[in-house]
Structure 1
Amino acid sequence: MAKLRPGLLFAAAGCGAIILIALLGPALFAGPANHVELDQRLLPPSALHWFGTDDVGRDLFVRIVFGARVSLLAALSTIAIGLTGGMLIGGFAGLVGGWVESALMRMIDAILSVPSLIVALALAAALGPNLRNAVLAIGLLSIPVYARVARAEALAIVGRDYVKAARLMGASNLHQIRANLLPNMLPPLLVYATGNVGAALLATASLSFIGLGAQPPTSEWGAMISASRSFLFSHWWYSFFPGAAITVTVSLFTLLGDALRDLLDPRERPR
């Protein structure tokens, strides 16, 4: 059995803490995220307001806690869209093979040749500036990446004896995907997806920052940084704490994905 590494334990504990904050934080910390107190505007961090207040007097700590749920849910939604679509396309291509696989993979390569963020910007702008459309745009554009990984996993699984035996017994492609491919493809793809949570969060925050994602007064971390641009040099805490929340979360999920990959990769295990 592979030995758990300190980096994996640290990343898992950190990611678990962030998920708990996203789930339980709004219930544990009093005060709505959009409670306005104009006489408390732009106050620095203190015992009363741990992260200070914004330009309309809202408590930044409360907004960041509430924003954890919004930002994480948006990132996980993009992962779910990309993972589901990629597994279906890549798994089917790897199972069927032949000209179907070649056609699907050439289409995937053509999509990947275009910078995804630029396409996401255009798609989000065309659909309309809100968080749901930003999540949909990023999720759809992540499907090709997961499809390539799923195809590689499918090709390895298709060569196994039990899959060949099921095919000789007349199992349909749908049965093969449901019974043999998906159960065996899912664990490595989930590990890969875990490492991409940070990138997905950063992408949704970027669209919110330029006004194509979450709209005010939603307490989403990228939108909070966008609102703080005019106060970047005069009131440092306004942009610092939402930026720190994004940085810490992205780093922890990336570290967790790398640690899980190393743990499950047989080439990294001691002989």
Structure 2
Amino acid sequence: MTTNGQTVHDLLREVALARGLRRSTYLHYQRLLTRLDLLDREVGEVAQGDVVESLWSIDSPNTRRAAVICLRSVFGWPMKIPRGIPRRYDLPDEDTLRLALMTTPHEPRGLLMMYAGLRIGEACAITSSDVTGDRLRVDKQVQQLHETGKPTTTKVGPTKSGVAEVVIPHFLTGVVLSLDKTTKPDVVRESIRRAGLKVGIRLNPHMLRHWYASTMLARGVPLSVVSEQMRHSDIAVTLRTYSQANTSRTIHDTFG
């Protein structure tokens, strides 16, 4: 791979083509490199030490982690990837979440995230053809691609977890059968946010997925089953990310 006279943007395109990066990943890397003020610079002018210094201008540890992954992929630098920090939520109770979802026309998509653990793009791609009894086939997601200076585009593509089947509560079968077409994630995300405000909570799609996993663990569902339902490649991801609990309540409930 030659770099003489190349800009970082040119190198990113070359890497994306060579590695078959998904369009969404390419655009994500593009945004990160722009944030680091690297995209339009010549590759030969970019020094790893200077870039490492600039990483500390990124306040969010998880965004900083994403930037390191991007730099490793594009430049091939042997940088250590910092551990991500799991998001912690003050999770509302089930009744409050259900009440909030009842106020949005996208309630079926919200229920898919809350009771099937789907990511928002996956929930937006589900239609009636994806359910058979208590089994839901999850093999696609709706992606919205945001590229600077161009209109936002929407497409249906493969999920990040690959093809899988999850078991869903019986009541959710009827909900899925009501879905005859896909929808846009940004519309659903905004609708769910507004629904939360109506009942006095801050609500987003990932909170619903987080509630699903945390509630299963709290109710004694085996970790292996939770990991399978969440479609994680490693059970440690489930334990590290979703085993959120109130320590005091857990100890007192266990020992009195």
TM class, shorter-length: under 0.3
Q: Which has the larger radius of gyration?
A: 1
Quick check: which one's helix share is greater?
1
The structure with more strand, counted as a fraction of residues:
2
TM-score where L is the length of structure 2 = 0.23
Q: Which structure is richer in relative contact order (CA contacts within 8 A, separation 6 or more)?
A: 1
